[in-house]
Amino acid sequence: MSEKKIPKDLTEIPTEVVETDLLIVGGGNAGCFAAIEAKSQDPSLRVTVMEKAHISRSGATAAGMDAINTYIRTDKGETPESLVKWSRAQVGGGPIREDLALSNAQILNESVEMLEDWGLPIVKDEDGHYKLRGRFDISIQGEQLKPIMAEKAMEMGAKVYNRVAATNLLMQDGRCVGAMGFGVRDGRFYVFKAKATIVTTGGACGIYKNYTSDYSGAHHQTWMCPFNVGTGYAMGIRAGAEMTSLEQRWVAVRTKDFSGPVDTLSVGYGCLITNAKGERVLRDRYAHLGGDKAPRFVRLNAPMMEWLEGRGPVYVDTTVLDEEEAKDLREDLLNERPTFVLFLASRGIDITKEPVEIYGSDPYIVGGHTGSGFWVDIKRMTTIPGLFAAGEAAGGSPNKFVGGCAAEGRLAARGAMEYLGSVNTLDVDPQRVSKEKERVFAPLLRGPGFDGITPVEMEERLQRLMDEYAGGISQFYRMNEERLDYALKNVKILQAQTQYLFAKDLHELMNAHEVIDRLDVAELLIHHLKFRKETRWPGWQTRMDYPEPNPELDCFVESRRDPVTGSVEVFTRPYEQLIPGDRTEG
């Protein structure tokens, strides 16, 4: 089907059925590593990757990276256990799934070293070790990071379907037996039948309004890949999977008016966070929490408190750099955010004479940074048999970043291969497939003249609603019970109005399903925020009506939506500490 040709009805839309052993939904970092691991273990295995964009530049690492934020330098005395302790402390003592974090850490280094074997330049120190720029951060020249992963996955024999947007899991007898979606370029309806499925669709952004979206039509000047909208989470939610820790939102500190990296400046080059009065914010006000090495949510909340208390704007003080250090910094930025260098130049900013202003981002749901995502067992299988999750999609184990997500992709592949060896491909109910095809193409078949709602209109309403009532940036991430009740009520109104969405072309059809996915993630997120009646991570989750931690909520908050009735159940699971010691010290 031509991209511009609109079908008159479903009979004009071809259906393509693909049978495979292992289906990987999402060809980002974790997805590529899952494919590579599976083909390495069994070259005869049919491995299929379903990718919404193009695998060579998709997912959170699409634009490149200037560092890999987790690598264990054993010569420095670090161990998998010390990495888990550090990760636990970074989220204020948890809760985190220490079993998952430890299993990731145990194969972390070899996963990173695989990247170097495939051609990724990793910076070395004078002793030949990977060069540290923080305790667990190593510097890379990573502009080609994603193409390197993608090429290896294809070289190993994974079959990749680019430009196919996933819309729902294929379920049969309570088991996941694949996924369905549509071709964003060819307009086909795709049915992937698989013995096992791994979801590696990344996290969710665009649920909240970004503060910089007011000057242009670009809704997603975002810290994260703007195409990661929570589709994997949403498919699981609609199928009744258990989700964990959605309320542990990730909010990043970024350079203001341009989503540039702050850790590169503050951690990599020692440019400390400084307020408008010239005071070192973290060193002077948050020494009891670790100062400039305080947990990440503290480093996010501190600059925003300076604004609220009249000491903003806030900066990273780059004026401590000499000319040579400033040149090195610009070169590092070219690996991850080359346009940030252009942004500084366009404003005539000499960073050795003028500090760089910083601010908080909009909140995201990302299981590779915080702990949000699917509840999985040690083999990365979700609570739905046959469905596995890895990377940003798998919850409970924060601070995975590039290396940890790669390791988890490999672990999920191992778990899925063990599972698929014990099951057969099931026949799929054709009525279920027909019903999904009808649902998927409904916005397109309504036609461009339909008197309804465009995806952008619904997206703007959702983002402003979440921003104002569910703790967005305009509210300095604060919320209370009444605001959350309002947000939940209105999200459900929007969900009911998705029947009025219409699309003029295949790209808008994708946008329509993206906003439907965001709504389903937002609904469960609000339930999580309502349940956690405390403030455990100020900035990430600030309840004005419950400003202190509640010891009774030192546990995981879980949710599950009934796929038949749509009712949402919220409950808890206990925190199990495996690594001894003070949980707030890493």
Write the pLDDT tens digit of every residue in 463-499.
Answer: 999 999 999 999 999 999 999 999 999 999 999 999 9
What is the DSSP annotation of 315-342? Answer: EE-GGG--HHHHHHHHHHHHHH-HHHHH
CA atoms 525, 526, 532, 535: torsion sign: positive
Give pLDDT, residue 220: 65
Residue of 260, 277, 399 lying closest to 334 (CA atoms): 260
Q: Which residue type, as a one-letter code, is found at position 144?
A: Q
Pair of tokens at residue 88: 């636990």
CA atoms 368, 372, 378, 380: torsion sign: negative
The answer to whether 251 and 360 are in contact (CB under 8 A) is yes
Residue of 413, 414, 410, 419 lying closest to 105 (CA atoms): 410
Give pLDDT, residue 325: 87
pLDDT beyond 70 at 154: yes
Compute, in degrees rounded to 10, the torsion defined by CA atoms 210, 403, 538, 524.
70
Give pLDDT, residue 530: 98
Q: Which of 19-23, 214-218, 454-458, 551-555 has the lowest mean pLDDT?
A: 214-218
The answer to whether 79 and 68 are in contact (CB under 8 A) is no
Pair of tokens at residue 118: 């495939």
Mean pLDDT of all residues in 370-378: 97
C-alpha distances out from residue 16 to 158, 190, 223, 249, Å: 18, 5, 35, 38
> How many CB atoms are located within 10 Å of the residue 385 CB?
14
Q: Which residue type, as a one-letter code, is found at position 197?
A: T
Confidence of residue 512 (pLDDT cuts 50, 70, 90): very high
Tell me if residue 158 falls in helix, strand or coil.
coil
Give pLDDT, residue 578: 97
pTM of this structure: 0.95
Give pLDDT, residue 265: 75
Tell me if the bond preceding 43 is cis, omega within 30° of 0: no
Give pLDDT, residue 295: 92
Q: At what angle do helices 481-497 and 506-531 cross, to 10 degrees?
A: 150
pLDDT of 281-308, one tens digit each? 999 999 999 998 899 999 999 999 999 9
The side-by-side arrangement of strands in the sheet containing 555-561 is 373-374, 243-244, 555-561, 568-574
Q: How far apart are CA 186 and CA 16, in angstroms?
A: 11
Give pLDDT, residue 210: 86
Q: Which of 1-15, 100-114, 404-418, 523-537 has the lowest mean pLDDT?
A: 1-15
Contacts 24+ apart (CB under 8 A), 483-488: 484/526, 484/529, 484/530, 485/530, 487/522, 487/526, 488/523, 488/526, 488/527, 488/530
Which position has the token pair 């010891």? 551
Q: How far apart are CA 368 and CA 237, in angstroms?
A: 19
User: Across all residues in the chain, what is the average pLDDT?
Assistant: 93
Give pLDDT, residue 336: 67
The answer to whether 195 and 21 are in contact (CB under 8 A) is yes
Quick one: how far is CA 280 from the chain centroid? 31
Residue of 82, 73, 132, 122 lying closest to 102 (CA atoms): 82
pLDDT of 213-272, one tens digit each? 655 555 666 777 888 999 999 999 999 999 999 999 999 888 888 877 787 777 778 889
The answer to whether 574 and 396 are in contact (CB under 8 A) is no
Give pLDDT, residue 270: 82
Give pLDDT, residue 269: 80
- Ramachandran region, residue 73 (left: φ > 0; alpha: ψ -120 to 50; beta: rest): beta
Q: How far apart are CA 387 and CA 196, in angstroms?
A: 6
Q: How far apart are CA 145 and CA 118, in angstroms?
A: 10
Mean pLDDT of all residues in 7-19: 96
pLDDT beyond 70 at 180: yes
Give pLDDT, residue 217: 59
Q: How far apart are CA 521 and CA 466, in angstroms?
A: 12
Give pLDDT, residue 4: 55
Q: How far apart are CA 65 and CA 69, in angstroms?
A: 10
Give pLDDT, residue 144: 93
